[in-house]
Amino acid sequence: MTAQIISGTEIAKQIRQELEQEIAELKAKHNLVPGLATVLVGEDPASQVYVRQKEKTSLALGIYSERHDLPAGTSEEELLALISRLNKDPKIHGILVQLPLPRHINETKVLYAIDPKKDVDGFHPVNVGKLMIGEPDYLPCTPHGIQQLLIRSGVKIEGAEVVVVGRSNIVGKPIANILLQKKAGANATVTVCHTRTRDMAFHTRRADILIVAAGRPKAITADMVKEGVVVIDVGVNRIGQTESGKAILCGDVDFEAVKEKARAITPVPGGVGPMTIIMLILNTVKAARIAAGLA
């Protein structure tokens, strides 16, 4: 068996086309232009790449975009003052503060300062709480992207045994909560594994759907999965570089070995990554609708 490749690049294109039409209609019928502000503190190379991609996608879709690049020495007070200003700005419907932040800034305090109605990352405790009770305004971008990858690839989630490897607040916990909801595109039985799980392979071999966000290259090997599993690999690990200096990336799954047993699998790159960005735009459009009383 050689797995079907679940292309996040292609599925993100589908959603992008849907958003293009929706954004055009909002402008034409309601004179409403969704607005997104991104905030980057410092010069982390990966963060700079992500912010550029988000800004590029926003502008291409006709969204109003503001980018705030702050020096690494920016104080917590200065960052909170910027967030306060963006909270009050009617042109801005979504605020994204790129993580990680410099060590002298309290990330939790900063995330809590964002107006929940503009929290298009879905990290504010108000939005986390709404997700827990099944009434979210916004789903966190990466977990929502994972759900859409499964749905749009025709993977049956209802009744499936889903195993999530990783318990982060950004991926592991929210995707577990999303897929166990009593809703369409969910209704799964979910197990969450982590660094203190005994005999992780026992759990991963039971999975109909395996979602891996472990943060370790090739942590999941072929002997840890069953035939016919669907694998979503969230990891992006730099394991070297080419002679020209281009980064060599791999996921948290041993792709070449596992694809011979899996029914479907996401690649790295080109899997979950493109979905995260387009889900951010989707949340920004929804935030604009909510602000205008259209949702």
From the candidates 98, 147, 148, 181, which is the catalytic residue?
98
Annotation says 98 is catalytic: yes
Which is nearest to 92 in space by CA: 121, 115, 123, 125? 115
Residue type present at position 65: S
From the candidates 119, 121, 137, 252, which is the catalytic residue?
121
From the candidates 54, 117, 118, 259, which is the catalytic residue?
54
| Sign, Cα dihedral of 198, 200, 205, 211 | positive
Annotation says 254 is catalytic: no
In contact, 23 and 62? CB cutoff 8 Å = yes
Cα angle 108, 114, 115 (rounded to 5 degrees) comes to 140
- Rounded Cα distance between 105 and 89, Å, is 23
**Cβ partners under 8 Å of residue 291, min gap 6:** 90, 93, 117
| Sign, Cα dihedral of 42, 46, 47, 49 | positive
| Locus of tokens 């997104």 | 36
HSE on the CB side for 278, CA within 13 Å?
A: 23
What are the catalytic residues? 54, 98, 121
